[in-house]
Amino acid sequence: MTAERTDPEDPVAGTPYGAVRGRWERGVAVFRGIPYAAPPFGEHRFRPPVPPEPWDGVRDAGAFGPTAPKPPYSPAFARYLSDPVIPGDDCLNLNVWTPEPGPGGRLPVLVWLHGGALTRGSSAVPVYDGHAFARDGVVLVSVNYRLGVEGYGLFPDTPPNPGLRDQLAALRWVHDTIAAFGGDPDRITLCGQSAGAISTGALLAAPQTQGLIRRAVLQSGPPEASERDKVRRMVRRMANRLRIPATAQAFAEVDRGLLLRTQAEVGRLSSPVLGGPAFGIVVDGDLVPRDPLQALLDGEAAPGVDLLMGWTRDEYRLWLVPGGLVDHVERLGPVAFAGAMARCRAGHEVPRGYRTLHPEAGPAETVGQMVTDHLLRLPLHRLAEARPGSSYLYEFAWPSNRPGLGACHALELGFVFDTGEDPDSVRLAGEGAPQELADAMHGAWVRFATTGDPGWQPWDDTHPVRVLGDGEPHTVSGPRDAEFALWNSGAPAPHPERTAELALAVRRLRRSVAAVRRH
C-alpha cells in the first residue's frame, strides 16, 4: 500500500517493513493502523502470525486499521461500552502516540492490551486514546489481536493461543522498532485491563518474552490459564450448532458472519461471576509452558520486572447490573450462593465468613465480591506477596454517576488514559467525572512507566494498597486481608456428593440468567 503525502509536515517513521506517515494532533505525533503481522486469513487462518509483506514508498498511517472479527455487545452492555468495528482483513495492526518521532529519543514506552473477555474490544476504542501519555512524555502503543474462536479456539489441527501469539509478535515489533518513534526498547511497560491483564500475565511468564518487558501493569485481571476442556466445550458447542467437525479446517470454511453469530449464542451462558464455557489462554507447552500465575509465584519468570496491579471496588457490577441481572441474582438468594460456591470450589465457611464481615450486604453483593476476590484479587495479592519491594497495589473506589454501577469493572480506564471528557467514557462514568482523580491515576501510571515507582509504598509485610477515588488518594494497610484470610484458612471444599448438587445449582443459575438476557 502506498499513498501520496498530503502535508510535508506530517511525521514519518521507519519500520522493518516500510515507512509510515502519521499525523500531528494536539502537539503529538500519531501513527495508526501499522501492520505488525500479515492478515490472519486465507492460508494464515487459525495459524500463528507471520510478518507482513513489505511495502514500497510511504504507507499512510492516519486512520485506525481494521478491527479483529467480533460479535457486537448485547444492547444492555452497549449502553455502557463502545466497541467500534472497522472492516478489513489486515487486523493485526497497532497504533503509536509519541511526542518525539524519529530516532534518538529514549522515552519510556507503554504497550496497551485491551480487554473484552478475549471476544470483543479493539485499540480503536476512543477511551484508549494515547494523547495524554504522549503529552506527558510516554510513548503509547495500542495493539489489535485476534479474538474469540479466531484467536483462542482450541483445535487438534492448529497450535493453541494464536491471539496471544499475535500479542507476542506485536511486543517484538515494539522492541525492535520503537526507537524509530522516539521510544526506549529497554523501558517497555506492558499494560492491560481485564482480558488484557490476563494476557499481560501470560506474556510475563512466557520464556519468549524474557528481556522484552521492563515493567507491567495488570488492571482487574490476574495471570491465569483456562482449563482446556472449558475452551474445548466452546468449540464443540459451536461445531454442533454449525454441524461441522471441531477442526480449524472446518471452521475456516464457515462464513465469518455466521461464525460470529454462533459464537455469541454459545457464549450467552458464560459469565465472569457464573463461569461456563469460554475462550481463554491455555497451557500449550510452548508459549505458555505452565500456569502463568504459578510460574510467576515460583520466581522462574519475569525476574526483575516491576508490577503495578489492582482492581475496582465493585468489579462485579458491570457484569450484573446491565439488563437487571443484579436484581435477579438478589432474588435467587440461596441458589446464587450455591452457584458461587461451585464457581469457587468453596465450602460453606467462605460465604458464611463474607456475610459475617459484611452483614449489610445482600446476596448479589456478597456473591459478586466473593467471586471477584477468588478469581481476581486473591491471585494479585499472592503475586505481590511473592514479589515484595517491586510490586504496587491499588484499589479504584470512585462510584460511577450512572445508577447502580458503583466502582465497576473498566470504570478506571477513562481516568488512566485521562479521556474522561470523551463521550465513550461518559457512557460508563456519567457526566462530571472528577478531573483531579484522572490527574492522580494518569500521573501514577506515567511515573510507573518512567521510573517504576507510581508514587506510593511498594508491597511489604504491612500490605499497602493505594485507594484512589475515595476522598484524597491514600494508602491503607491490608484493606481486604480479612476476606483473603477466609480463602487461606484451610476451610474444606464441598464433599463430592455436595459438589454435584452445587454444579446443578450453578447450571440452574446460568439458565436463569440467560433467560433474563434474552429479554
pLDDT digits (tens, 9 = 90+) for 492-507: 444 444 445 545 555 5
Residue 85: how many other CB atoms lie within 10 Å: 12
Using pLDDT thresholds of 50, 70 and 90, give the confidence band for residue 105.
confident
Q: Which DSSP category does 271 fall into? A: B
CB 41 within 8 A of CB 89: yes
Nine-digit cell at 317?
A: 457490577
Percentage with pLDDT > 70 across the chain: 92
Half-sphere exposure (Cβ direction) of 283: Cα atoms closer than 13 Å: 13
pTM of the entire structure? 0.94
Burial of 23-37, coded b for 16+ CB within 10 Å and e otherwise, reads: beeeebbbbbbbbbb
Residue 373, CA distances (Å) to 40, 62, 297, 425 in order: 37, 42, 18, 26
Q: Cα–Cα distance between 248 and 399 in angstroms, integer? A: 44
pLDDT value of position 495: 42
- In this prediction, residues 94-99 reach a mean pLDDT of 98
C-alpha dihedral sign at 125, 471, 390, 382: negative
Instruction: Report CA-CA distances (Å) from 381 to 189, 255, 306.
Output: 20, 44, 15
Ramachandran angles phi, psi of 269, nearest 5°: -90, 0
Which residues belong to the active site? 194, 315, 409
DSSP code for 110: E
Q: What is the largest CA-CA distance in the chain?
A: 73
Say if residues 59 and 19 touch (Cβ distance below 8 Å).
yes
Residue 240 has pLDDT above 70, yes or no: yes
CA dist., res. 372 & res. 378, Å (int): 8
243, containing H or E segment: none
Domains of the chain (ranges, CATH numbers): 12-518 (3.40.50.1820)
Give per-residue pLDDT as tens, 179-237.
999 999 999 999 999 999 999 999 999 999 999 999 999 999 999 999 999 999 999 99
Q: Based on the number of CB atoms within 10 Å of its own CB, is 410 exposed (0-12), middle (13-18) or buried (19 or more)? A: buried
User: For the CA atoms of the chain, what is the radius of gyration?
Assistant: 22
